[in-house]
């Protein structure tokens, strides 16, 4: 490993409320020479990056998806090779549906030292702010995280919906607002109870958080009616009923 290479920190920003940054991520925001960020952490967190720090918006590398990720990897590696301390800041936790694992693999390949800084994933924090514990002894004692967003042009979904429809735990679906109707349809097709409670949490932990509660049979229509937009997370299971008891929590940063 070359002495002159800088170190890369692959860090999660949490779900958006700056108070939910880890102490380590907060310190790295102040100390890094370069911050390579996605839009997902949100303005409140991105505005904490000091003036003097070099900032690279990874989201600007849009277009072809694969190329995008390649370009991001290139930027991270280039800056580390310049001897800079690089903070790669991603929403939520870097290793939960954020391609953080792939970025880390690239760093290993080229021999650049890196450290992962876990963040609070939106899969847990967004439901929590919406008054929904993802597990509860009386209803769901298992939880699974799945990605709902897949290429709509693909015929096969790649996910075993039959297995998921029978899963006796909470399902937390990332992304996939656009695929909600298809995904709920798959669960219904394989026999999941149409009355299963479902929550959609949009912009969880942020001041403009919005919660939509429904059932498996009508949540897609409700989402359409209320014009639900990304970032939003879907929670399916009886734990959703706790929303009425525990109540919603709001940030006003």
Contacts with ligand SAH by CB under 6 A lie at: 15-16, 40, 90-93, 96-98, 121-123, 126, 174-175, 201, 203-206, 230-233
Shortest Cβ distance from residue 239 to ligand SAH (Å)? Answer: 16
Q: Which residue is nearest to ligand SAH (CB)?
A: 92
Shortest Cβ distance from residue 242 to ligand SAH (Å)? Answer: 18
Q: State which residue, 77 or 123, has the beta carbon closest to ligand SAH.
A: 123
Shortest Cβ distance from residue 222 to ligand SAH (Å)? Answer: 16
Q: Which residues pair with 54 in a beta bridge?
A: 34
179 part of the active site? no
The closest alpha carbon to 164, from 141, 139, 137, 191, belongs to 191
Q: State which residue, 79 or 206, has the beta carbon closest to ligand SAH.
A: 206
Determine the straight-line distance between the first and last CA of the chain, rounded to whole angstroms: 42
Q: State which residue, 5 or 87, has the beta carbon closest to ligand SAH.
A: 87
Shortest Cβ distance from residue 220 to ligand SAH (Å)? Answer: 15
Q: State which residue, 106 or 202, has the beta carbon closest to ligand SAH.
A: 202
How far, in Å, CA of 253 to CA of 250, rounded? 9
How far, in Å, CA of 88 to CA of 35, rounded? 6
33 part of the active site? no
Q: What is the dihedral of CA 184, 228, 18, 147, to 10 degrees?
A: 30
- Candidates 19, 30, 57, 60; catalytic one: 60
- Candidates 55, 71, 84, 175; catalytic one: 175
Shortest Cβ distance from residue 42 to ligand SAH (Å)? Answer: 7
Shortest Cβ distance from residue 120 to ligand SAH (Å)? Answer: 8
Q: State which residue, 121 or 212, has the beta carbon closest to ligand SAH.
A: 121
Q: State which residue, 78 or 248, has the beta carbon closest to ligand SAH.
A: 248
Which residues neighbour 243 within 8 Å (Cβ) at sequence distance 6 or greater?
130, 131, 132, 199, 211, 213
Sheet containing 54-57, strands listed edge to edge, beginning at the edge strand earlier in sequence: 54-57, 34-37, 86-90, 8-12, 114-117
Q: How far is CA 59 from CA 19, 62, 71, 82, 138, in A?
A: 24, 6, 10, 22, 42
Which residues neighbour 41 within 8 Å (Cβ) at sequence distance 6 or greater?
13, 14, 16, 89, 90, 91
175 part of the active site? yes
Catalytic residues: 38, 60, 175
């Amino acid at each position: 490993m070359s002495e002159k290479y800088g170190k890369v920190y692959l860090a999660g920003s949490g779900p958006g409320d700056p108070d939910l940054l880890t102490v380590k991520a907060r310190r790295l925001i102040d100390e890094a020479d370069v911050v390579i960020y996605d839009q997902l952490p949100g303005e409140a967190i991105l505005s904490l990056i000091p003036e003097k720090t070099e900032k690279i918006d990874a989201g600007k590398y849009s277009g072809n998806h694969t190329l995008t990720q390649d370009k991001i990897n290139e930027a991270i590696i280039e800056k580390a090779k310049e001897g800079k301390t690089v903070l790669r800041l991603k929403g939520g936790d870097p290793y939960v549906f954020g391609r953080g694992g792939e970025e880390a693999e690239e760093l290993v390949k080229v021999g650049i030292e890196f450290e992962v800084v876990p963040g609070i994933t939106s899969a847990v924090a967004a439901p929590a702010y919406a008054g929904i514990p993802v597990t509860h002894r009386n209803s769901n004692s298992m939880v699974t995280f799945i990605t709902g967003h897949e290429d709509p042009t693909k015929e096969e979904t790649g996910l075993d919906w039959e297995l998921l429809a029978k899963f006796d735990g909470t399902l937390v679906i990332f992304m996939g607002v656009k695929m909600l109707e298809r995904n709920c349809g798959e669960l219904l097709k394989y026999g999941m109870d149409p009355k299963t409670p479902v929550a959609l949490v949009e912009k969880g932990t942020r001041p403009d958080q919005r919660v939509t509660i429904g059932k498996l049979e009508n949540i897609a229509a409700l989402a359409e009616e209320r014009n639900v937009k990304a970032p939003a997370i879907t929670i399916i299971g009886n734990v959703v009923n706790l929303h009425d008891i525990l109540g919603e929590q709001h940030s006003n940063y």
